[in-house]
Structure 1
Amino acid sequence: MLHSILFWLGAFTAIFFVGVFVELGIGGSRLRRLHQIPPLPDEEMPSVSIIVAARNEERAIEHALGSLLRQRGGEMEVIVVDDRSDDSTGAILDRMADVEPRLRVVHVTDLPKGWLGKNHALWMGAQSARGELLLFTDADIVMAPDAVARAAGYLSREGLDHLTVAPHVNMPGRLLTAFGVVFTIFFSLYTRPWRVRDPRSKQHVGIGAFNLVRADSYRRMGTHQAIAMRPDDDVKLGKLVKKNGMLQDFVLGPELVQVEWYSSIPEAVRGLRKNGFAGVDYRISLVMLATAVHVVFFIWPFIAVFATRGWTQAFYGFALLMILGLYAGCARAQKSAWWHGILFPIASVLFIVVIWNATIYALVNRGIEWRGTHYPLDELRANRI
């Protein structure tokens, strides 16, 4: 009986990964790359307001902000909202603003009820923005001088309301690098970014590193007020676009946009605690389903290929080739080593740990801690999109 179950499960797993391989392979090949998209001439460029939410970013803010201030093409301004920092972030920003006319700094000292700090900061920045386009980005993102011009030109030429750019993620160590690639694979399977351009599809996407949106579209969709209590605000901004019948697209930009993500495994687990439960809409049933899917399809095959024989082993061996092929393709796009794919099962276990850590933490503490503030779980759950 057990042999029969393993045989059919192995066969189904092999078929499953053929479908995944084809979907990701064909879909990924359709994605544009930002460095291959020509910018508009300066005189045709729409004005852009780059909006950054910063809290206790003294370590990286000056370098990242310098890259934003070096952006070329058209009329641009950079608005940084200092969200209640208690380090030297505010002083650094004020010093830079004294010598840089394109930089405006907004200091927030109190957080209104019903807001997450970051979301409120981005909303505050948008209220004073003068640009036709708004670029929401993080305080540790480094961009090449032509990144914004290329993205803004593409959005304008294609008649889009929203454009997301996927950055290159810098993480030290083989396991963290593998986790980053595996995370990208799972994110791609969840969002299907090659489908978001289709107005008939409900697929949507957003990445905090680079969310470019038309200012008038942003206001029509309800601004960040509609996602005031969403820790996954970047993805939900993309969902607001699709829910309001607007057009969005997704491009790859690792050559022009980079971010330093986490420096260690414990830091990654703690950092993703704020939005791991939100990613499944605070539903225990989805956490359990995600766990089962990961164990059956992304962990068990690495064991089964040694624990089975005959056709069952062949099925799982074929599935492993598909998994490693998926990893190699994604690693190539992210400019990392393909052979780190041998760490796929460990990275997948880490992904489960992240989700359960976030879930248990939110349930035990009745909320999350983010940027030094506790947010009640009931209020987080109430902000459904």
Structure 2
Amino acid sequence: MMVLGLVLFGLAALPFALALLNLGILRATPPHAPQGDVLVSILIPARNEAKNIGPALDATLASVGVPVEILVMDDGSTDATPEIVRHYAARDERVRLLTAPPLEDGWTGKVHACHHLSEAAKGTHLLFVDADVRVRPHAAALLVGHAQKTDAGLVSAVPRQIMRSLGELLTVPTINLLLLGYLPMGFMRLSRDPGLGAACGQLMLVEREAYRASGGHAAIRTRIHDGIQLARLFRRKGFMTDLVPGDHLASCRMYTRFDEAWNGFAKNAHEGMATPVALPVWTMLLLGGHVLPFAILPFVPTFPIIAAVLLSLVTRTLVTVATRENPWSIPLHPFTMLIGLAIQWSVLLRIGTTRRAGWKGRLYPVGVKP
């Protein structure tokens, strides 16, 4: 049992140490104002977003520090989304409503919409924003300033995640814990290795020429997780990518119910953990570092097990405080990690079935790689 305790302690110590280092690196990142003649095209793909699109436009129209244009791509909405955007466009010439062409074979929906948004954009920088994201007034300017200062072709941030229901608390907190606890950001900023590429599709700024030279969304047309895929694509093409703290740049409430969250994370799983090679490794890291210590502690209250539990909770607390997430995620932490693994395994074990992925209620064409 002592050997097991030491192994679990080591698995809990790894994300603790990386989170400390990563948070130090991110918080030491200075803000930079944009330089030169800059225009930011804020690009919002929207499908049945009548509840979200108005607040999203209100937030983007409040942008300061850099001129913006705001393009909304209505992608086959059956609700009032296009009418709401037309109302905003009539009041402010910075807003434009576009209508997505029919989805082409071999494309996923959001990627298809983002591609056509990029073709219509006039900006020197393109800021892809999901409709459920509320950007802060200075977000576009700070992202451009950082991209210019660091010569990064792509800069992304995870918005502050708003979680109110139990279902959200059991799923959403995995995003920041995985990024801060397992991505070595010091190495990420020193290397163009595609394996170190990471981005959040909710809030992602690209420099126009780098985007075009890399192939942009057209080069990942069969993919779903554009954050991860674009970051890796840029790095393969020789462009640097970076992550910056996002809690002060934007906020987002991704889901409102457990089933929404489960399905949302499941559709991206194949492009993250849920592969036959990666998932057993992730299971060892997450189960051993964040679940088993809590399960074993009542039966084997040895010092290494107690230390592993404390380190896991401290890691969760550090991440929660730094990203300003709901503090109720802290006592739920081992259950959140267990649910995250359950989602990944449920997807991996369905490989080869006829189940098809989709976006906002629309199934993707057969042949798309989910």
TM-score in terms of structure 2 length: 0.92
Structure 1 gaps of 5+ residues are: 1-5
The 5 Å alignment of 1:339-358 reads 340-358=329-347
- 1:3 maps to what in 2? none
Q: Cα deviations across residues 243-267 of structure 1 (Å, max 9, x unaligned)?
A: 1111222110212311111112222
Q: Cα deviations across residues 61-101 of structure 1 (Å, max 9, x unaligned)?
A: 10111111221233321111111111111111122112210
Please, what is the CA RMSD of the aligned residues? 2.3
The 5 Å alignment of 1:20-59 reads 20-32=15-27, 37-40=31-34, 44-59=36-51
Letter in 1 for 2:356: G
Structure 2 gaps of 5+ residues are: none
The 5 Å alignment of 1:1-385 reads 6-32=1-27, 37-40=31-34, 44-173=36-165, 176-177=168-169, 179-201=171-193, 202-280=195-273, 283-309=275-301, 313-336=302-325, 338=327, 340-360=329-349, 363-375=352-364, 378-380=367-369
Q: 1:104 to 1:93 in 2, by over 3 A?
A: same
Pick which of 252-261 and 365-374 moved more: 365-374
Tell me which of the two structures has the higher relative contact order, counting C-alpha pairs closer than 8 angstroms and 6 or more residues apart: 2
* Rounded Cα–Cα distance in structure 1 between residues aligned with 2:120 and 2:325: 40
Are the equivalent residues in 2 in contact too, given 1:141–1:258 (CA < 8 A)? yes
Are the equivalent residues in 2 in contact too, given 1:194–1:250 (CA < 8 A)? no
* Rounded Cα–Cα distance in structure 2 between residues aligned with 1:152 and 1:300: 43
How far is 1:16 from its partner? 3.1
Q: Cα deviations across residues 38-75 of structure 1 (Å, max 9, x unaligned)?
A: 4237xx35111111110000011101111112212333
Letter in 2 for 1:367: R
Q: 1:46 to 1:81 in 2, by over 3 A?
A: same
How far is 1:115 from its partner? 0.8
SS of equivalent to 1:50 = strand
SS of equivalent to 2:15 = helix
SS of equivalent to 2:126 = strand
- The percent identity for this pair of structures is 25
How far is 1:167 from its partner? 0.9
Q: Cα deviations across residues 93-140 of structure 1 (Å, max 9, x unaligned)?
A: 122112210111111251111111110111001111111111111111
TM-score in terms of structure 1 length: 0.88
Are the equivalent residues in 1 in contact too, given 2:160–2:251 (CA < 8 A)? yes
SS of equivalent to 2:209 = helix
How far is 1:200 from its partner? 5.0
Letter in 1 for 2:24: S
